[in-house]
Structure formats: C-alpha cells, structure tokens
Structure 1
Amino acid sequence: MIANAKPPTEIRRLRALHPEMRERDFARIHGISEAELVAAEVGRSAIRLRPDVEVLLNGLRAAGEVMALTRNESAVHEKIGPYEKVVIGPMASMVLGEQIDLRIFPSKWAFGFAVEKAGEEGAVRRSLQFFDAQGQAVHKVHARPATNLEAWSVLVTSLRHAEQADSIEIAPAAPVALPGEAADVATLREHWRALTDTHQFFGMLKKLNLPRLAAVEMVGEDLAWQLDAKAVEEMFASVAGTDLPIMAFVGNHGCIQIHAGPITNIKPMGPWLNVMDETFHLHLRLDHIASVWAVRKPTSDGHVTSVEVYDGNRELIIQFFGKRQEGSDERAGWRTAVERLPLHSQSNAA
C-alpha cells in the first residue's frame, strides 16, 4: 500500500479554493485519486461505507428511482430508474431491470462513501460512491426527487464502515501481463468462427493470450474491419430518432453499465458527444478516440455485429450492439447501419 499523496487537511484547503471544479478533474490536477478527495470529507459531508455489493444492491431495490452512473476516462453512462431483478453471484453480480442493467465485479470494489452536498435553492444532493483499490471510481448512485429517502438512509446505516477516518491508503496499479505465448492468426480465426454466443468472447481471448484490440486487428476483415474515426457520430446520426433499439456498453474493471433502447436527443458540445434522453444520458469524448472497429461474432442464431471504440492506450471506451432477443438473429436495420459506416482511410486505399 502507498500513503496519500496529500494529507486530508491540504486536500480540503485546496478544494475550498476550487469548489466548482469537477471532482475527477480536481483529483487529476492535484495528483490524488478521486477516492482520496471524497475521503477527506468524511466527518463533514461524507460517511465511509463498506463496499458490500450484495447489501448495496438489495438495499437499493427499496429506494425506488435513482440515477446509476458508470464511467471510464472517456465515457460517462447514466441511467435513471429503479434497481430491479438483482442477481448476486460469487464472481459477478447483476442488475437486470428494464432501465438499470449492470454487470458488477465485487472483487474490484475497495472503498465506498455516502456523500451529501448542498445543491441549488437549498436542496441536498445525495450520492453513494464506490472506488477501486487505486481510488478510481467504479460506480455511483445518485438520489433523485422520487427516491425513497427513508430506504436510502436505512441503506447508508447498514453499509456504514466501522472506521470513519478522513484518509485512506491506495494501492499502486498492478502490472498487466499476459501469460504464455499469444495465439497466431489461424488459431484465432478457428476459435473465433467457432463461437456460439457473444459471452464466450472474453474467455476465448484469455485462452489465446490475446488483448482484445490485438485480436480485432489480426482476425481478418471478414470478421472485423476498421472504421473512420467519425463513424461513431455517423452511427448516432443514422439511428437517432428512429425506432431502432441499440445497446450501449460503458464500463471499467469493476462495473459495466448497459443501455438498451432507441436514442433520440443527440447534443454535441465541444469534444463531447452527448445523448440527453429522458432516462439515458451518455457523454463520450470524441477527442479520445484512437480507433473504431466493426466486429462480427458468430452465434447459434446468426452473427452479431458491434461497433467498438478504443482509446490511445488501446483500451475499450464503449461498445454498441443492436438490441436483439435471445434465440433471434440481430435486426437487419442495425446490421445495415453498421455496414454503411465509412471505412478507415487505410481500408479505403487497400
């Protein structure tokens, strides 16, 4: 473990000088993690919580309408609704509601806090915030006007940590290393073409010792082809305001959050491409996009097409699919929309 970069008193002093700055931006500028920033307010506007996913998910069911937020460095995914159809598992837990759809990996959750801040016109903004061992946010839950605050308070009490110090110790990031020799193209294509379900894809990559983007780059253009960087904007333009339901996956190593349904209200703002629909908000940093790929995976019901967006560190930012029912082929409208997206310039030259 490593000590805090700054003592809590110094963090609070600096924060008082920049109260309007977004938490993530403030933490980055001052060389601390976001979790350390929140921890510095324990005993003031924050309560430290146990990162107990089972207690959290079961407790949130009684809270009614809330806003669930999952993000990575380049995309923010927000869904408004109740936590429903909770499934607790030993390695992963799920929320399978019509609005809030999550895949949670509890082993990555290290710190939790309940935060209350003054909002506009005397209102109180309440949130539950959870972080990994490096202090990076994995998932947040924000109260809404319709939230059952009595159930919210009961949940906070049940999750309250015995230790309420205003500092935490964060761990350095573990080095990522793939064991063994990576598979060759022929082996990758053999395994890829043998897929019968999209959920087998991660296991295939692990078995073949291949990072995701490396596999996508090498498998061949019949199964994955590179798109122009503006393909994401064009995809949004082609599906927005139609009845075509899409799926948008945004995640980090502790949580993946999914939207399934049509999208309507697209609002570009600076480097951000935003979706501002009634129960779904998405904020995507277009200037972080290094490559975009159309990816085709076989299933027992026909192939499934996705659009995958990667950053400069070769990490997956966001993934899009057409919404489909298990046992059915994907929607022709989605497949056509993807196949019409502009190719990367190198592909055009080939």
Structure 2
Amino acid sequence: METSTQTKTSAAAGANALAEAWESLQQTKPGIRIREAARALGASEAELLATKIGPQVVRLQGPWPELLRRFTTLGRVMSLTRNDACILEHKGLFQEIDIIDAGPRSMATVIGPIESRVFFHAWHVAFAATEEKTDRVLKSIQVFDRSGEAITKIYLQEKSDEEAYARLIEDFRSPDQSPEQPVSVYAAEVLQGPENEAAFLQEWSELKDTHEFFGMLRRHKVDRYHALEVARGKYTYQLNAKATPQVILEQAAAQKLPIMIFAGNRGNLQIHQGKVRTIRLLERGHNGPEPWLNVLDPDFNMHLRMDLVDTAWVVKKNTTEGFVTSVELFNKQRNLVAQFFGLRKPGIPEKLEWRSIVENLPAL
C-alpha cells in the first residue's frame, strides 16, 4: 500500500517531469502560449503554472468573494476571460462589486469599466504569477477551476497599484506552496428536456425579462442549444456562422452603434458594453495559421477564432419592452462561444438600428 510520503514523492516527480517537458517545448516553440503548451503536453494550465511555484508563482486561497473584492484596490488593470474560441480583454477598474450569497450558487456582479458575472462554485485555485518577457514583466492574478482551466486572469498595467498587489498576495497566500496541482475532470451534464415542448414554448412567450431565460432552461431541463432548435422558426433561426460575426462588428463600427458582447466559461462571464472601432481578421498560431477575428481598441480587445465557430443563431426573447434580439455563436460541441446584443438599458426598448443589422445578416 502506497504511503503518504510515497504519494508526495510520486507527485513531486510528476511535477518535475512536467516542468522539464514544458521547458523543452518552449525551446522547440519559442513564445508558445501556456494554454497551447498545456494542450500539447496533455496537462492543464494550472498544473503547468504550479510547477513554477517559488519566487515567480504563489498559490493563493479564498475566501473567493474576498479575493474578488480586493481587485478593486489594484487600480487600472487588464481583465481577461476566455473559452476555447473567444477571448475578451478589458482595461480599467474593478469599480462596483456586489456579492450575491446563495450557498453553492454564490455569485457576484462586477459593474464599471470591467463588467462580469462571477460564479464562485467553479473557483478552485488561484495563483499570483510574474512572467519575464523580452520587453516587459507581466504580473497577474490567475483563477482556475478544478479541471485546471483558466476562469479569469487579471494583469497589472503601468498605473496599477503594485503595493496593493503585494499585500493581496500575502493576505491570500496558501499554506500549500507545493509544485503539484491536482485536477479532476468535470462530468458532462446530460439534459434531455424539454419533456413538454408546447409548455416550454408557452413559457418562452411569457418571458418578462431576458434574465428569466436561464431559469426557464433549468426548469425544463433543456440545454441552451437544444432549446434554440425547439424554438426554430418561432423565436430562433440560423445564420451563416462564418460571415455573421464580422458583419456584426463591421456594421456596428460603421454606424458607431453601441453593442454588448458576452463571452466566458463556467466561472466567469465577461461583458463588453459600448462601441467597437478597429476590426481586423488576422491569422496566427503555433500549429499552423488560425483565423482570428479581432476588435483592437485602446481599452477593449476581442479575439474570436473563426474556425471554431460552428453555428450562429438569432434568438428573440420577450420582455416587458418588446423582443430583445441576440446573435449566439456555438462550437461543434454545441457549447456557447459568444453572444451579441444591441446595447440597451432596462426599461428601454431595443434600438431599431440593432434590429436592422440582425435582420440583414447573411442567412444559412
């Protein structure tokens, strides 16, 4: 029977082997990003980062709501949230944070220059990391779920408060500073609904607010993609997925029309609210050219990997102010990649300019 000491020795050996493999990969592919390196090595980002624990990397612990609140002390930072296909980056302040304590479903809303919806049930471990680049030093707080996937990363900027950053690290330093980071795979959630399609569509017709949509899906035990299929022709229809995102961004930029972009993962949903200006389609990647659609504005960047966008849907939800129209992008696994809305405030109908853009998007 393996003893506790043997287990620790085995884990340390595994971490050392992973660190060596990562270093070898970086020599073979200089500049490879940690997410790509983790995939190539059959590991996770969190496992790779843990191998650097020492002067450059410190493991942090919760309480996670208190850690989030401390982001307000850092001053101007860059907040990055992503999934496999879409990355949102905002520069600004963590201004207003409201913690909604609901036990296992505890969450927070972040409002201001950086806006997000935070789901603490997925926050598992965090690290403070210092990365030395050829032209700069990057300091960050990085949060991961239990599978080792990144939830969000907060990077210091030129005018960030470095002293507040140092205090945060000391206050949230974990007693565990070992180079191993255990991870576990999330079981796939299987939803078979809706059992009664007519009742589901009837409830859809009676929505009063877009925020009721997720609760409706849960009540009917239906996943989002299947819900759109059930409502096809009534509240949803498909678009040309390869053309739609670029048309939306270019039309919004040309008309100076404020829009909303949502993208995230199981632990964080980051939101852009405002105009977009500089739209570029570029190819990059260490494993061959990858087509990325980009918004490259001073305080906001979006990077959308177009070859991973499989379907695009127009979705209409009833509200007390009339229909609210979104365009939703999904990957081949039918996971939500990103959503686009016209910017609107509660109590105000959707802008006709946004509806016109959506109505003229290329159909499937």
CA RMSD after TM alignment: 1.6
Contact 2:107 2:120 in 1 (8 A): yes
Contact 1:247 1:260 in 2 (8 A): yes
Take 2:11 and 2:250, find their aligned partners in 1: how far apart are those partners?
A: 45
Q: What does 1:1-350 correspond to in 2, within 5 Å?
A: 7-19=14-26, 20-90=31-101, 91-97=106-112, 99-121=113-135, 123-178=136-191, 181-229=193-241, 230-270=243-283, 271-344=291-364
Q: Unmatched 5+ residue regions in structure 1?
A: 345-350
Query: Once the two structures are superposed, what CA deviation does each residue of 1:212-256 show, in whole Å capped at 9, x if it has no partner?
Result: 011111213231110012111111121114321000000101000
Shift of 1:80: 0.4
Take 2:299 and 2:259, find their aligned partners in 1: how far apart are those partners?
A: 14
Contact 1:294 1:305 in 2 (8 A): yes
Aligned residue for 1:112, secondary structure, equals: strand
Aligned residue for 1:283, secondary structure, equals: strand
**Which AA in structure 1 matches 2:57?**
A
Query: Once the two structures are superposed, what CA deviation does each residue of 1:253-304 show, in whole Å capped at 9, x if it has no partner?
Result: 1000000000000111121001110111000010011110011100011110
Shift of 1:4: 6.7
Between the two proteins, the alignment pairs up a number of residues equal to: 339
Shift of 1:119: 2.5
Take 1:286 and 1:129, find their aligned partners in 2: how far apart are those partners?
A: 26
Q: Unmatched 5+ residue regions in structure 2?
A: 1-9, 284-290
Take 2:362 and 2:188, find their aligned partners in 1: how far apart are those partners?
A: 36
**Which AA in structure 2 matches 1:172?**
V
Instruction: Judge which range, 183-192 or 154-163, deviates more.
Output: 183-192
Take 1:252 and 1:196, find their aligned partners in 2: how far apart are those partners?
A: 26
Contact 1:324 1:330 in 2 (8 A): yes
Contact 1:101 1:259 in 2 (8 A): yes
Contact 1:242 1:264 in 2 (8 A): no
Contact 2:46 2:148 in 1 (8 A): yes
Show structure 1 runs of 4+ deviating over 4 A.
3-6
**Which AA in structure 2 matches 1:187?**
A
User: TM-score, normalised on structure 2?
Assistant: 0.90
Take 1:190 and 1:6, find their aligned partners in 2: how far apart are those partners?
A: 58
% of aligned pairs identical? 35
Contact 1:193 1:298 in 2 (8 A): yes
Shift of 1:51: 4.1
Take 2:40 and 2:116, find their aligned partners in 1: how far apart are those partners?
A: 30
Contact 1:96 1:102 in 2 (8 A): yes
